[in-house]
């Protein structure tokens, strides 16, 4: 195993404990991308950031702290330095995680006894991990207001509401020899034992609205399990949606602690990475480029000056990475085998599924050394294709040197995932250092 050594600045254990508790609270507040953005928004406002509107005027001041949302599920925050802007130091992570999305007209009556909900997969999921767990529903609802306008409201049934029951081993004795779950048959959550019950009726009751005032819903099933610390010495964390709320949290906290000197600090939180990013709020949209152009216009830069700034800019794409698996070490690359609590993972791919190249790798190594955090490298096995992430998609719209990083984790895309307790603190410190230049 190759793990590059650095001189690591050890984090205060009390500080790390607070970070982990805060991370768990953030994840619990963020059952959907809409809630994740609202959680980020609240924390930014509390820290003195000003909310901007895409349809409004932008009056930006030196040292100003700002953010702008799109679709309620993506957000870009940024801080201007005190003097002349030398370039942009950017990062991107994503707010969405694999889940079950609830279809329209979802009620399915079974045997005149149960009411199930019709759902579909959102992203690549390990289906079996969702069985026999307490689940609930969250998302947003569009209603007709008193003035006749359409208004959007977040909703979270913050209680144990659903279950997807397994079939007993007696009725499927070959289950443990391998079973292919059919998402339209095996993975439907049970909602009620009252045949007249409807999800819209429950929503109307939650909002104290008549049913006909509810126009549409965008709802997801989510896992109710909270985060916890596990391991012989409490060295690991177990929680839902670590991919990619762990990176969202670390970059958000790093920005709250940053004090930019020459470079404009910018953090983009995109939606829909798990389904390809090709939406108006995804990394494959104009959102990042639009914000950069608005910033440049607000600080009176010409198009040529904007290009000069971008030539001196950098992008970190932050999305979690696969750790060496204790039961399947053969799935890891021969020499690049990240471990939990091993520090920042710098991701590489010969076919450029990750955007890291020789130059951007060197930038990240130098940054880790400056921040006093550990780093390690990840490559896929040469006979395993692997996935892709935000880096190349974002860099295609804003073409700057870029690198892909993440935190090492086990069971990516499971209903709950495992990561290293120390790595969160290292990520916060990395981003704080990156944005304090």
Q: Under 8 Å CB-to-CB from 27, ≥6 apart: which residues? A: 227, 239, 240, 241, 242, 245, 249
Residue that is last in its domain, among 223, 253, 280: 223
pTM of the predicted model as reported, rounded to 2 decimal places: 0.95
Per-run averaged pLDDT (10 residues), the chain, 437 residues: 40 85 97 98 98 96 97 98 94 98 96 96 97 98 91 96 97 93 97 95 93 94 96 97 97 97 97 94 96 95 92 97 97 96 94 91 98 96 82 88 97 98 96 97
CATH number at residue 325: 3.40.630.10
Please indicate, yes or no, if residue 3 is contained in any of the structural domains: no
Please indicate, yes or no, if residue 312 is contained in any of the structural domains: yes
Residues 65 and 129 occupy one common structural domain: no
Residues 200 and 278 occupy one common structural domain: no
Residues 91 and 103 occupy one common structural domain: no
Residues 294 and 426 occupy one common structural domain: yes
Cβ neighbours around 411 below 10 Å, total: 18
Q: What pLDDT score does 1 carry?
A: 32
Residues 210 and 350 occupy one common structural domain: no
Please indicate, yes or no, if residue 372 is contained in any of the structural domains: yes
CA torsion sign, 242 to 247 to 250 to 252? negative
Residues 281 and 209 occupy one common structural domain: no
Q: Phi and psi at residue 91, in whole multiples of 5°?
A: -140, 150
Residue that is last in its domain, among 175, 194, 223: 223
Pairing state between β 344-347 and 375-378: parallel
Q: What pLDDT score does 353 carry?
A: 85
Residue that is last in its domain, among 194, 223, 252: 223
Q: Under 8 Å CB-to-CB from 46, ≥6 apart: which residues? A: none
The residue segments making up the domain with residue 296 are: 13-97+240-434
Q: Which two tokens stand for residue 383?
A: 């006979």
Residues 86 and 125 occupy one common structural domain: no
Please indicate, yes or no, if residue 233 is contained in any of the structural domains: no
Q: What pLDDT score does 11 carry?
A: 59
- Distance between CA atoms of residues 433 and 375, nearest Å: 15
Please indicate, yes or no, if residue 377 is contained in any of the structural domains: yes
Residues 275 and 409 occupy one common structural domain: yes
Residues 280 and 420 occupy one common structural domain: yes
Number of domains composing the chain: 2
Q: Vertex 423, ends 418 and 426: CA angle to 5°?
A: 165
Please indicate, yes or no, if residue 8 is contained in any of the structural domains: no
Q: What pLDDT score does 5 carry?
A: 35
- Distance between CA atoms of residues 409 and 341, nearest Å: 9
Residues 294 and 407 occupy one common structural domain: yes
Residues 65 and 169 occupy one common structural domain: no
Burial of 283 by CB count in 10 Å (0-12 exposed, 13-18 middle, 19+ buried)?
Answer: buried
- Distance between CA atoms of residues 89 and 241, nearest Å: 26
Residues 286 and 394 occupy one common structural domain: yes
Cβ neighbours around 333 below 10 Å, total: 18
CATH number at residue 160: 2.30.250.10
Q: Phi and psi at residue 396, in whole multiples of 5°?
A: -70, -25
Q: Vertex 424, ends 429 and 237: CA angle to 5°?
A: 165
- Distance between CA atoms of residues 16 and 19, nearest Å: 5
Q: Vertex 267, ends 416 and 376: CA angle to 5°?
A: 60
Please indicate, yes or no, if residue 6 is contained in any of the structural domains: no
Please indicate, yes or no, if residue 137 is contained in any of the structural domains: yes
């Amino acid at each position: 195993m190759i793990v590059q050594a650095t001189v690591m600045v050890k984090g205060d254990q009390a500080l790390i404990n607070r970070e982990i508790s805060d991370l768990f609270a953030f994840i619990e507040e963020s059952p959907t991308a809409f809630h994740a953005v609202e959680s980020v928004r609240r924390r930014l406002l509390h820290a003195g950031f000003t909310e901007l509107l895409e349809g409004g005027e932008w009056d930006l001041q030196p040292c100003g702290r700002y953010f702008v949302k799109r679709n309620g599920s993506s957000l870009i925050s940024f801080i201007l330095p005190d003097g002349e802007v030398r370039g942009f130091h950017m990062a991107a992570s994503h707010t969405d995680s694999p889940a079950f999305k609830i279809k329209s007209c979802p009620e399915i009556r079974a045997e005149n006894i149960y009411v199930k909900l019709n759902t579909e997969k959102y992203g690549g999921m390990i289906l079996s991990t969702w069985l026999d767990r307490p689940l609930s529903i969250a998302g947003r609802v569009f209603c007709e207001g008193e003035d006749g306008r359409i208004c959007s409201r977040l909703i979270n049934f913050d209680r144990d509401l659903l279950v997807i029951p397994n079939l007993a081993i007696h009725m499927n004795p070959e289950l443990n020899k391998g079973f292919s779950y059919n998402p339209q048959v095996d993975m439907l959550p049970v909602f009620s034992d009252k045949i007249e019950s409807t999800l819209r009726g429950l929503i109307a009751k939650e909002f104290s609205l008549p049913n006909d005032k509810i126009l549409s819903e965008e709802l997801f099933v989510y896992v109710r399990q909270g985060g916890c610390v596990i391991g012989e010495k409490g060295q690991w964390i177990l929680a839902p949606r670590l991919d990619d709320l762990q990176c969202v949290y670390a970059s958000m906290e790093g920005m709250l602690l940053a004090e930019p000197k020459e470079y404009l600090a910018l953090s983009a939180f995109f939606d829909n990475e798990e389904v390809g990013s090709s939406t108006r709020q995804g990394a494959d949209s104009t959102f990042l480029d639009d914000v950069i152009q608005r910033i440049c216009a607000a600080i009176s830069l010409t198009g040529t000056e904007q290009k000069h700034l971008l030539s001196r800019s950098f992008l970190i794409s932050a999305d979690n990475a696969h750790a060496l698996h204790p039961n399947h070490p053969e799935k890891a690359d021969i020499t690049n085998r990240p471990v939990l609590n091993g520090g920042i993972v710098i991701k590489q791919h010969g076919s450029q599924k990750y955007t890291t190249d020789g130059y951007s790798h060197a930038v990240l190594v130098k940054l880790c050394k400056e921040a006093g955090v550990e780093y390690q490298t990840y490559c896929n096995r040469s006979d395993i294709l692997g996935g892709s992430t935000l880096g190349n998609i974002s860099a295609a719209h804003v073409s700057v040197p870029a690198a892909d990083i993440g935190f090492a984790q086990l069971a990516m895309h499971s209903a709950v995932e495992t990561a290293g307790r120390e790595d969160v603190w290292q990520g916060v410190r990395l981003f704080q250092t990156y944005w304090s230049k």
